A and B are shown apart, each in its own frame.
Chain A
Amino acid sequence: MASPRQCLFIDDDVDDQEFFCDAANSIDPDLECMFASNGIDALEKLKDEAFLPDFIFIDMNMPKMNGKETLEEIRKIERLNAVSVYIYSTAAAPRTTQEMLALGATDFLIKPSSVQGLQELLGKILK
């Protein structure tokens, strides 16, 4: 069996971390969820060359370094080029969506407002 997949979830909201972890593990119980509470924290974690997550999820609205800045920084790191990076936000203006995709986001996800919705969303991505 291959080593379990890893994902990095960058969001300052611990509730969201909990939702995400619950839903993700209900789809792939082996998935390892790592958390960072803001961009700076995430970049710190990604400095460790041994850490190569399969997926990265970034919240838009965070203190200190917001989602956009974090995305830009992550896309500068060559070894992470193949990693799917998702923007994960409460709501989206079409302009922001376009901007994020242009900066190299794999997709722009809107936080669902039900457990079932979140499971369905993650199901498509993690399968």
Chain B
Amino acid sequence: MTLPSDESFLQGGGELGELIRNKNWSKTPLGHPSVWPQSLRTSVRIILTSRQPMFVWWGKELINIYNDAYKSIVGGKHPECLGQPAFEVWREIWHEVEPRTRQCLEQNTGTYDEALLLLMERNGYTEETYYTFSYSPIPGDDGKPQGIICANTDDTARITGERQMRTLQDLAKALLSLESNQAIYEASLDVLAQNPQDFPFATLYEVEESGNRLHLVGKTPAHLPEQLSAPILDLSQDAAHYQELSKAIGGSSIQLVSGITERFGELPSTFWQRSSDKALLIPILQSNHRLPFAILGVGMNPYRLVDEDYIGFFRLVSDQITSALSNAYAIKRERKRAEALAEIDRSKTIFFSNISHEFRTPLTLMLGPLEEMLNDPGDGTLQDNRKNVEITHRNAMRLLRLVNSLLDFSRIEAGRMQTIFRGVCLGRYTEELASSFQSLFERAGLDFEVKSEVKSAAYVDTEMWEKIVLNLLSNAYKYTLSGKVGVSICENGEFIEMKVSDTGTGIPADEMDKLFQRFHRVRNATGRSFEGSGIGLSLVRELVQLNHGTILAESELGKGSRFTVRIPVGRAHLESTDLVDESTPFDQIIPNSYGLDSLSLTEAETAGPHEISRHKSLEKVLVVDDNSDMRAYIAKILGTQYEVVIAANGIQGLEMMDAERPDVVISDIMMPVMDGIEMMKRIKNNPEFADTPILLLSARAGEESKIEGYELGADDYLVKPFSAKELQARVMAQLRLRKSRRHVNSQLRNVFEHAPVAICLLRGRNFLVEIANERIIEIWGKSAQAILHKPLEQGLPEMVPQGFKALLEKVYDTGETYVAEEMPIKLYRNGRSEMIYVKFVYEPLKEENGTISGIVVVADDITDSVVARKEIEGSAIRYKLAIEAARMGSFDWILEEERFIFSDRLAEIFGYADARDCTHTDFVSKIHPDDKPIRDAAVASAMLDGILFYEARIVWNDGSLHWIRLNGRAERDLANQPTRMYGTVLDITDERLQTAILEEKVYERTKSLAEKNRQLQESEERYQRMTEEVQDYAILLLDTDGTILNWNKGAEKIKGYSDKEIVGKNFTIFYLPEDRERQLPQTLITEARNSGRAIHEGYRIRKDGTVFWGSVTITALHDDYDNVIGFSKVTRDLTERKISEDRMQKYNAELEFQNRELEQFAYIASHDLQEPLRKIQMFSGMLERNLHDAEVSRRYFEKINSSAERMSDLIKAVLNYSRLSRIDEHFVKVNLNEVLQNVLVDFELLAEERSAHIDADMLPTVIAVPLQINQLFSNLIGNALKFTADSPRIRLSCRTLTGSDVGFEHNLYPDRLYVELVFTDNGIGFDQKYATQIFTIFQRLNQRTSFSGTGIGLALCKKIVENHQGFITATSESGKGASFYVYLPA
């Protein structure tokens, strides 16, 4: 079609060109194109040739003409909107459009809008769109604007894309280092709440293991109604209602829920005015699990089509939450493992200290009598010696039991307990075992009944069965003080049941479930003796289990307990791996003497409190110990000088305190019924006995336990084993101290009592009222009983809310005196609350060593003088008010009489110097003309309510401006006419001025705030631009073969390739060669294709060849027909997390190693511990036969003594070694010179005796555990002294060098600096081939007789050095001295 020449401007232009040409324009206000003005023609030509979306609106109606590119903007309105008035086309956003058109047409200026949000209906639904556009006026032929031309850019995709990226990025940042699920949920929802456009609401539900119940773990917005965010959802209740949810959980696929408003009602709007009608349920998946971990519910943006693209975004969001959760899970799992291992480690350490603790009591009792016998061999009568030997023997037996339990423990722990099953008639066998207890129970006055009805054989390890029976019976014996103990054995179906029941103290219900736990001891249980390491019952359970049986405990507190052991009948249940010994016919197996032999409970432990020696005039000592041997031993030591009374436990001890009022108390710590600590607390809290010194005996060695003892309030602390002389000296010192303390105290008390001020002494950090004089009690208004010897808080509870407790604590903690000049205090005195004023001082009470032990309070009640002063102050205020009043002017205007009476001050205020002739008008006329209406309004209002008030300006005659405030009343007659007005006037010019200045300031401040806001906004915009491109995530698209289709900034940052280099390559390029070889990339792609997603963590390669630890999620992308069309791949660089995880794993491995080592150690240690014990028993056996021969006896005694001492050394070493395994020791700076000096002081005597010569270089300071380094030096120097026959020469040299310069084969870092310490001696040395052997535990190179040693010392050294990441070795030649080389990090 050829156009008329004047319509050639309509040529081309694609579809719209065609449409425009064919449109019948005559029917529009524009008329036929041939009559269109030139400028319209030009504009239309422009848009038809442009590829930008553009339109022209022309004429009054702004008729719409647009081009092809603009079609996508008008969307569904095309083509009808061609030729329509703009008002019709953009009806829904006309309010936004119209002002802009007016600016163009009326002011002839263009507009510019960037990324303006417009809710447009382009495709049949209202859509969130962003446009950048400019309207430019088109001049008509008359030069005035006749139309508008507009160029548009659709920014919707950019703006929404950026917003979503920001959410993803924020999520990445917020979730990276979180470790708890709840924190992840909260942080995720916080981030989602920042994007209310895409998340009008969101909920997070955790899915229970069953998949049927969900728990709400977070939501946004906070006011989301409950219908949509019920705390718990139960899918089994209403399956139809939750069908989408079930699908989301069961199928692990995203579900779209529609009709939200219909189902749940209108929702609160967050960003959009319209509420979401659709929601997505997105499963948060966990790898290797059928069910999702959680469900994320998201309300859909009402202005956005829910298409695959949009769902893809939510999938990325859920991926992030998923990976954060699985990270947290991994970290948690590692940490849990670490905690579990540390717990095992800790309990082992406890076990070791417990066991060595238990060793000490019998040792004291062995060493004590032996010392005595050796000290006076001549006088010892046969009888005395026999008794001593008996004690020694009995305690050696006890030690043996303990060692055995240590051995059993370590065997079980190491899984080394081997069960050898033998067929045995359990009925008869148990009867025989139990019968050996008969006499024991009889002697204790208990009924003992054994019943058996079993004939069948059971397969058990007979030795273990003995231990089971023995332990259960000893337990029953221990905890049954009267009544009956019964053992019954019967067949019950396929089982043989043994019941051991007693009428003892029973077990509290809350202890039942811990009963079989290792190391657990029922605290303060009433029983006969309290010996044991806390593994008896746990051992029983382990043994029963090893025999394929079960054990059950029932108990009622105060009534007794019953333990039931069930063992299967016959041998059918035995497994092929079980060892069975058929060599002995079952009825011929009888118990050996193990039961009787190791049970020496027969010693009389029940001895009640009775006095051992009475010396009326002497000072009195109370000895509290549950061990009768120990009581007797102490009583014997002290009996010559003091009157000794005894008690067997804490309760008896307290009774004796009341009855005997001893001068000093000596108590054991661990005792049944009530332990020593509890007893001590009660004594110290009783004001009557508080000053009685208490000396605690403990078997627990070590500095910490000593400190613990003192902290608990012990006056002295003695560690077993102790010597008689030591005990005597300590008791004497305590008594002397007490005497002088009493003297000082009574003097002090005297001073206090008579002081003219109120004084009290608060002791300890709980502020026990130790002394309070009458005056202060009077101030407090309480009775002396209510307040004395109690924590102040208890007697005076009102002090806490008033902050005095905090004040006292501050003084106590800082040691700074606090002075209050005039402190109001509210007290409840005489039944009512009173306010008093007190001047007081809190003075910290310091002990000689500088520690603070209490606070002295000196107070003075100054209420009377304060009240008096306050009264004076009160009248001063009133006076001021009066002056103020004087500054007021007053007036009285009687309208009826036309009289205006006023004060001089009023005239002054109005600027009249002499106002005698002034009238009412003279005053009113002074009011500023602008403020007249204020005055008139105020008068009118006063007619209504009678109150007259206004503030106004007045102008003086000299032209100056003044402000007044008028306060008055109006009186009216019945006709509501004013009759009289009166009141006061105040000059408020100054006040006003102040306000004006203030307002000015506020204004300025607001301005600067606004400026700041603007700057902030700008920087925010900058930030937005900056974060346009995501950096934390590599997000890429792959086609079905894994070829990379696109690439983002994050990918470039993480992997190093630019998009040009990588697009088109296959993603296998990121994988390590070995991963490629094992087809990992293909496996992942296949997994994603089949199950929708593949998650993997592993090392990947960067462009530069370096590796990083990546967390990768590959998600399959589907088309509408569910065909896989490609994959999205999100990679995160988690190298740092990986490193920290690896570190954690290494730590766990170390812990495991330590545990193994400790087990090994326990096993070997118990072997070595048995040796001296066996000897003690052998020698005491031989001794008993040779008591008549003094010479032989003496030799045997010496042997026993040295064995016991050796035992003691061993136990000390065991404890030290087990302490080394503690992982929580602190590394600090340690000056090695000081360490050396300390050690040399310890060895002073020995060194002198051997005339040793020791010299050393200047030593450096290292970072180390002080105790351990001390031990290291002590062992090495001790060894050098010990293993040198005479005149030892020891040299300690030192230098610094790098690891690579160390001359031995070692495991040190080559480029790290080390301190080399060489301990050289001239002793016996050793053969170089044993150089490594000497550092293994219990390895001795020399016969014990020639040189002493436990075999642990050097192992200890090695361990210490390894703890410090160092290295130790030794060189020597037999007979020529040795050199020990220690390397510690410098």
Q: Is the CB of B1167 within 8 A of A91?
A: yes
| Residue among B418, B1179, B1341, B1343 with max Cβ neighbours from chain A (10 Å) | B1343
7 CB-based A-B contacts, threshold 8 Å = A13-B1344, A61-B1338, A63-B1341, A94-B416, A113-B1178, A114-B1181, A115-B1181
Within 8 A of B (CB), among A70-127: 90-91, 93-95, 111-116, 118
Interface: A14 (CB within 8 A): yes
Q: Is the CB of A113 within 8 A of B1338?
A: no
> Given that A111-B1174, A113-B1178, A115-B1181 are contacting pairs, would A14 and B1341 also be in contact in the complex, using a CB cutoff of 8 Å?
no
Bound-complex Cα distance A115 to B1174 (A): 10
Bound-complex Cα distance A115 to B1178 (A): 6
Q: Is the CB of B1343 within 8 A of A37?
A: yes
* A112 and chain B: residue at smallest CB distance: B1174
Q: Is the CB of B1345 within 8 A of A113?
A: no
| Residue among B1163, B1167, B1179, B1199 with max Cβ neighbours from chain A (10 Å) | B1167
Q: Is the CB of A63 within 8 A of B418?
A: no
> Given that A63-B1340, A113-B1173 are contacting pairs, would A19 and B1345 also be in contact in the complex, using a CB cutoff of 8 Å?
no
Question: What are the nearest 5 A-B pairs in CB distance?
Answer: A113-B1174, A115-B1181, A94-B418, A113-B1177, A63-B1340
Q: Is the CB of B1174 within 8 A of A63?
A: no
Interface: A49 (CB within 8 A): no
Known pairs A63-B1339, A63-B1343, A93-B411. 15 more at Cβ < 8 A? A12-B1340, A12-B1343, A15-B1175, A22-B1182, A38-B1343, A61-B1168, A63-B1341, A64-B1341, A91-B407, A91-B1170, A93-B1163, A111-B1174, A113-B1174, A114-B1181, A116-B1181
Within 8 A of B (CB), among A1-32: 12-15, 19, 22
* A16 and chain B: residue at smallest CB distance: B1175
A contact residues around B1340 at 8 Å (CB): 12, 63
> Given that A95-B416, A115-B1181 are contacting pairs, would A90 and B1343 also be in contact in the complex, using a CB cutoff of 8 Å?
no
Question: Shortest distance in angstroms between B17's beta carbon and chain A's nearest beta carbon?
Answer: 98
B contact residues around A93 at 8 Å (CB): 411, 416, 1163
Bound-complex Cα distance A37 to B1341 (A): 12
Bound-complex Cα distance A60 to B190 (A): 69
* B416 and chain A: residue at smallest CB distance: A93
B contact residues around A12 at 8 Å (CB): 1340, 1343-1344
Interface: B1166 (CB within 8 A): yes
Bound-complex Cα distance A64 to B1339 (A): 9
Interface bin, chain B: 20 to 34
Bound-complex Cα distance A114 to B1173 (A): 11
Interface: B699 (CB within 8 A): no
A contact residues around B1344 at 8 Å (CB): 12-13
B contact residues around A113 at 8 Å (CB): 400, 1170, 1173-1174, 1177-1178
Q: Is the CB of A115 within 8 A of B1166?
A: no
**Residue among B411, B1174, B1345 making CB contact with A14, cutoff 8 Å:** B1345
Within 8 A of A (CB), among B1340-1356: 1340-1345
Interface: B1234 (CB within 8 A): no
A contact residues around B945 at 8 Å (CB): none
* A92 and chain B: residue at smallest CB distance: B1167
Interface: B873 (CB within 8 A): no
Interface: B708 (CB within 8 A): no
A contact residues around B1203 at 8 Å (CB): 15
Question: Shortest distance in angstroms between B1141's beta carbon and chain A's nearest beta carbon?
Answer: 37
| Residue among B400, B1173, B1181 with max Cβ neighbours from chain A (10 Å) | B1181
> Given that A61-B1338, A63-B1342, A93-B1163 are contacting pairs, would A19 and B1178 also be in contact in the complex, using a CB cutoff of 8 Å?
yes
| Residue among B1171, B1341, B1342 with max Cβ neighbours from chain A (10 Å) | B1171
Within 8 A of A (CB), among B376-412: 400, 407, 411
Bound-complex Cα distance A15 to B1174 (A): 11
B contact residues around A13 at 8 Å (CB): 1171, 1344
* B411 and chain A: residue at smallest CB distance: A93
Bound-complex Cα distance A115 to B1181 (A): 7
Q: Is the CB of A90 within 8 A of B1171?
A: yes
Q: Mark A37-78, 1 if CB is under 8 A from B, else 0.
A: 110000000000000000000000101100000000000000
Q: Is the CB of B1174 within 8 A of A90?
A: yes
Bound-complex Cα distance A19 to B400 (A): 19
Within 8 A of A (CB), among B416-448: 416, 418
* A111 and chain B: residue at smallest CB distance: B1174
**Residue among B411, B1170, B1199, B1341 making CB contact with A90, cutoff 8 Å:** B1170
Bound-complex Cα distance A95 to B1166 (A): 17
Question: Shortest distance in angstroms between B1202's beta carbon and chain A's nearest beta carbon?
Answer: 9
Q: Is the CB of A114 within 8 A of B1342?
A: no
Question: Shortest distance in angstroms between B401's beta carbon and chain A's nearest beta carbon?
Answer: 12
Bound-complex Cα distance A61 to B1171 (A): 11
**Residue among B1170, B1177, B1345 making CB contact with A114, cutoff 8 Å:** B1177
Bound-complex Cα distance A127 to B1343 (A): 32
Bound-complex Cα distance A71 to B1375 (A): 28
Question: Shortest distance in angstroms between A22's beta carbon and chain B's nearest beta carbon?
Answer: 8
Question: Shortest distance in angstroms between B1283's beta carbon and chain A's nearest beta carbon?
Answer: 13
Within 8 A of A (CB), among B786-800: none
* A38 and chain B: residue at smallest CB distance: B1343
B contact residues around A114 at 8 Å (CB): 1177-1178, 1181
Bound-complex Cα distance A28 to B1167 (A): 30
Q: Is the CB of B1343 within 8 A of A91?
A: no
A contact residues around B1330 at 8 Å (CB): 64
| Residue among A14, A61, A112 with max Cβ neighbours from chain B (10 Å) | A61
Bound-complex Cα distance A38 to B1177 (A): 24
A contact residues around B416 at 8 Å (CB): 93-95
A contact residues around B1343 at 8 Å (CB): 12, 14, 37-38, 63
A contact residues around B1341 at 8 Å (CB): 63-64
B contact residues around A95 at 8 Å (CB): 416
Question: Shortest distance in angstroms between A76's beta carbon and chain B's nearest beta carbon?
Answer: 20
B contact residues around A112 at 8 Å (CB): 1174
Question: Shortest distance in angstroms between B966's beta carbon and chain A's nearest beta carbon?
Answer: 108
* B1341 and chain A: residue at smallest CB distance: A63
B contact residues around A90 at 8 Å (CB): 1167-1168, 1170-1171, 1174
A contact residues around B1174 at 8 Å (CB): 90, 111-113
Bound-complex Cα distance A95 to B411 (A): 12
B contact residues around A63 at 8 Å (CB): 1339-1343
* B1174 and chain A: residue at smallest CB distance: A113
Within 8 A of A (CB), among B1139-1183: 1163, 1166-1168, 1170-1171, 1173-1175, 1177-1179, 1181-1182
A contact residues around B1168 at 8 Å (CB): 61, 90
B contact residues around A115 at 8 Å (CB): 1178, 1181-1182
Question: Shortest distance in angstroms between A123's beta carbon and chain B's nearest beta carbon?
Answer: 16
B contact residues around A19 at 8 Å (CB): 1178
Bound-complex Cα distance A14 to B1203 (A): 13
Bound-complex Cα distance A15 to B1200 (A): 11
Bound-complex Cα distance A38 to B1339 (A): 13
| Residue among B1178, B1181, B1203 with max Cβ neighbours from chain A (10 Å) | B1178
Bound-complex Cα distance A63 to B1170 (A): 18
* B1178 and chain A: residue at smallest CB distance: A19
Question: Shortest distance in angstroms between A15's beta carbon and chain B's nearest beta carbon?
Answer: 5
Q: Mark B1171-1209, 1 if CB is under 8 A from A, else 0.
A: 101110111011000000000000000010001000000
Question: Shortest distance in angstroms between A101's beta carbon and chain B's nearest beta carbon?
Answer: 15
Q: Is the CB of A91 within 8 A of B1166?
A: yes
Question: Shortest distance in angstroms between B1156's beta carbon and chain A's nearest beta carbon?
Answer: 15
Bound-complex Cα distance A116 to B1170 (A): 18
A contact residues around B1342 at 8 Å (CB): 63
Bound-complex Cα distance A118 to B1177 (A): 12
Question: Shortest distance in angstroms between B921's beta carbon and chain A's nearest beta carbon?
Answer: 124
B contact residues around A37 at 8 Å (CB): 1343
* A115 and chain B: residue at smallest CB distance: B1181
Bound-complex Cα distance A87 to B1066 (A): 70
Bound-complex Cα distance A86 to B1167 (A): 19
* A12 and chain B: residue at smallest CB distance: B1343
A contact residues around B1163 at 8 Å (CB): 93
A contact residues around B1345 at 8 Å (CB): 14
